[in-house]
Amino acid sequence: MDEKDWSTFKQKLKAKTEIDLDLYKEPQMKRRIGNLVTRSSVNTYTGYFDMVSKNKDDFAEFIEYLTINVSEFFRTPEKFSKLETDVIPDLLKRSPKLNIWSAGCSIGAEPYSLSIIMKEMTPGVKHRILASDLDIEILAKAKRGVYTDNELKSMAADRKKKYFDLVDGKYAVKPEIKSVIEFKRHNLLKDPFESGFDLILCRNVVIYFTEEAKDQLYANFFKALKPGGILFVGATEAILNFRKLGYTSFQPFFYQRPLT
């Protein structure tokens, strides 16, 4: 697996999926994809790509692995509790209807968690929740809204009972929670951003991005936020240079675009 092989693999992947591996940390991505190659019947990156491209399901599984779709409801519950007690009440002071973006929503656990929170905090108010991801197959799962017990392990039992229907041993999100969410395919490293968001969540998405790609992403999020809007990142993704990017610290892992 030489550099020419890696370069050709990157070109093929970008042409087929719009995923640009030049914006990801190379050693980590080589190791991650190399693990797949060594477990397969081929011995090159391009050989592996050509092999999985022949089967739709195999290719979908490869992209899911590549884009790290690990998620669960109310992931890191202590941070979600801060959303309920501190962040969202602050945002509601300025706007009765919030425009929220779950960027890199994976299987949909995050936007559905948000929908539950907003329903409980502001009954009868219809907020907008945009949920986006690069992976089309994962977006399809998110739209279906059917989950295993393990995917709901961080959810309180009363919420599980109230907002899900038990169907064939799995939990289906009720229509009242699904109806406020707009699912959309979106490439965070390539596609244009909407603007006017009160709250953006981008958690456990940037783990393999280069530092330059992260800075550009956080700068784009800054422009997408309203003055006073807040960006919520993952528990291992503190933005060390947030002041340079224009943010102030609302709380650890919550960064605010100043009001003025």
Residue 32 and residue 146 in one domain:
no
| Per-residue pLDDT at 1 | 58
Digit-coded pLDDT (tens) for 65-118: 776 655 556 666 677 888 999 999 999 999 999 999 999 998 898 999 999 999
CA–CA dist 88, 85 (Å, integer): 7
Domain that holds residue 229: 77-256
Nearest CA among 68, 158, 79 for reference residue 107: 68
**From the CB of residue 247, how many other CB atoms can be counted at a distance below 10 Å?**
22
Q: Is residue 92 part of a domain?
A: yes
Q: How many domains does the chain have?
A: 2
Residue 26 near residue 45 (C-beta atoms within 8 A): no
> Does residue 144 sit within a domain?
yes
pLDDT (tens digit per residue) in 138-163: 899 999 999 988 888 778 889 999 99
**Block residue for tokens 């981008």:** 202
Do 88 and 62 share a structural domain? no
- Length of the chain, please? 260
Complete DSSP assignment for 230-259 = EEEE-TT---TTTTTTT-EEEETTEEE---
pLDDT tens string 211-230: 999 999 999 999 999 999 99
Co-location of 237 and 115 in the same domain: yes
Q: In this structure, are 52 and 82 located in the same domain?
A: no
Residues 14, 55 within the same domain: yes
Whether 72 maps to a domain, the answer reads no
Q: Are residues 232 and 142 in the same domain?
A: yes
Containing 78, the helix (H) or strand (E) segment is helix 77-82
From first CA to last CA, the distance across the chain in angstroms is: 52
Q: For residue 158, count CB atoms less than 10 angstroms from its CB and return exposed for 0-12, middle for 13-18, buried for 19 or more.
A: exposed
Is the residue at 71 inside a domain?
Answer: no
